[in-house]
Amino acid sequence: MRILAINPGSTSTKFSVFDNNELVLDQTVRHSTEEISKYPKILDQYEFRRDLIIKSMEENHVLVSSLDAVVGRGGLLKPIPGGVYKVNDTLLEDLRKEMMGEHASNLGGILAYEIAKLTGKNVDSFIVDPVVVDELQDLARLSGHPELPRVSIFHALNQKAVARRYARETGAKYEDLSLIVAHLGGGITVGVHYKGKVIDVNNGLDGEGPYSPERSGTLPAGALAKLCYAKKYQLVEVRKMITGRGGMVAYLGTNSAMDVEKRTKEGDKEAERIYKGIAYQVAKEIGACSAVLSGKVDAILITGGLAYSDILTKWISERVEFISKVCIYPGEDETRALAESVFFAINGEQEIKVYN
């Protein structure tokens, strides 16, 4: 079974081809600011990215007609439980409406569907564990005001893939474990995984939880309200402060953790303070998550691109290892997670769900 897995990011398109679970082709196409800026909206990039994928496949002697399934990263859809979903008209319509917001992942299901059509045969397309996976327990939805309920938007695909990987490595079932998974990347989310469901997690997209390389995380509510009504900024500017120009970008003018770590090792005390602040806030969030599980935590898993940073993971581990053992899974092998889930689903080992 040949499966194409597509993961669109804000400045790149990653895609991989697998024969069953064996990697055949792994590509990351970077998009310059000049290329991206030609398109007013992210959805306008669809044909540009589709053609790049097909061209790269052909250059590597992988024909579109050889595909048996195509899967894309899920986008900002209606809140749904985790799992594998077959792309249907309703799903495509909601992605194109951007009903829950604009994000590069919205292109995933659309690209999967359109490329599946180009195979010239009856090939299905899928999404897996989109960022809007919502399995929150009722108490986790309470924010303190009924007009502002807490919303589940997080790195569901990578968090669940890493949790299942840990379960396989330890000979356990994901559905039997109590885990805390921290995804550290451009955005940071920390989830409570209890018996196969993420029952609590911070909304890493829209201003909640630890600050990150480019997101502000939780801000003082009163000060934010005053800022919004100070007539100094437009709404779009305030939202950029929260997502895109917050965190390290706001403090240090860069979203590159590698640069900040380099500056830290060279003795830049301000860079060290801001970098250590990320570790401090992540550790504090993990501590809060442990309370959700009444302290009964089988393991704490740290993943994402920033997990490659030994100094950052060390700072975090030192603060939380009293709760449970800490396991590091650097990077985001999301295309493999997408393809594996579809492979198991097509073979009947995992349910194929319907989006409605």
150 falls within a domain: no
Structure tokens at 174: 């994901």
What is the per-residue pLDDT for 75? 87
Based on the fold, state whether residues 99 and 214 are members of the same structural domain.
no
Residues 221 and 347 in one domain: no
Residue 151 lies in a domain: no
The length of the chain is 356
Q: Whole-model pTM?
A: 0.86
* pLDDT for 225: 94
162 and 303 assigned to the same domain: yes
Please, is 78 exposed, middle or buried when counting C-beta atoms within 10 Å of its C-beta (0-12, 13-18, 19+)? middle
Residues of the chain scoring pLDDT < 50: none
CA 239, CA 216: separation in Å to the nearest integer? 10
**Would 259 be classed as within a structural domain?**
yes
**Is residue 71 in some structural domain?**
yes
Are 174 and 110 part of one and the same domain? no
> What CATH number does residue 180 fall under?
3.30.420.40
Residues 70 and 41 in one domain: yes
Note whether 103 and 15 are same-domain residues: yes
Do 162 and 294 lie in a common domain?
Answer: yes
Range of the domain at 125: 2-134+334-354
pLDDT of amino acid 56:
95
Does residue 145 form part of some domain?
no
Q: How far separated are the first and last CA of the chain, in Å rounded?
A: 28
For residues 206 and 187, state if they share a domain.
yes
63 and 165 in a single domain? The answer is no
Q: 162 and 127, same structural domain?
A: no
The pLDDT value recorded for residue 219 is: 95
**SS3 letters for the chain?**
CEEEEEEECCCEEEEEEEECCEEEEEEEEECCHHHHCCCCCHHHHHHHHHHHHHHHHHHCCCCHHHCCEEEEECCCCCCECCCEEECCHHHHHHHHHCCCCCCCCHHHHHHHHHHHHCCCCCCEEEEECCCCECCCCHHHHCCCCCCCCCCCCCCHHHHHHHHHHHHHHHCCCHHHCEEEEEEECCCEEEEEEECCEEEEECCCCCCCCCCCCCECCCCCHHHHHHHHCCCCCCHHHHHHHHECCCHHHHHHCCCCHHHHHHHHHCCCHHHHHHHHHHHHHHHHHHHHHHHHCCCCCCEEEEEEHHHHCHHHHHHHHHHHCCCCCEEEEEECCHHHHHHHHHHHHHCCCCCEEECC
Q: Looking at the structure, tell me whether residues 162 and 98 fall in a common domain.
A: no
Over residues 205-251, the pLDDT tens digits come to 888 999 999 999 999 999 999 999 998 999 999 989 998 899 999 99
- Does residue 66 sit in the same domain as residue 12? yes
The domain total for the chain is: 2
Q: How many CA atoms lie within 13 A of 207 on its CB side?
A: 13
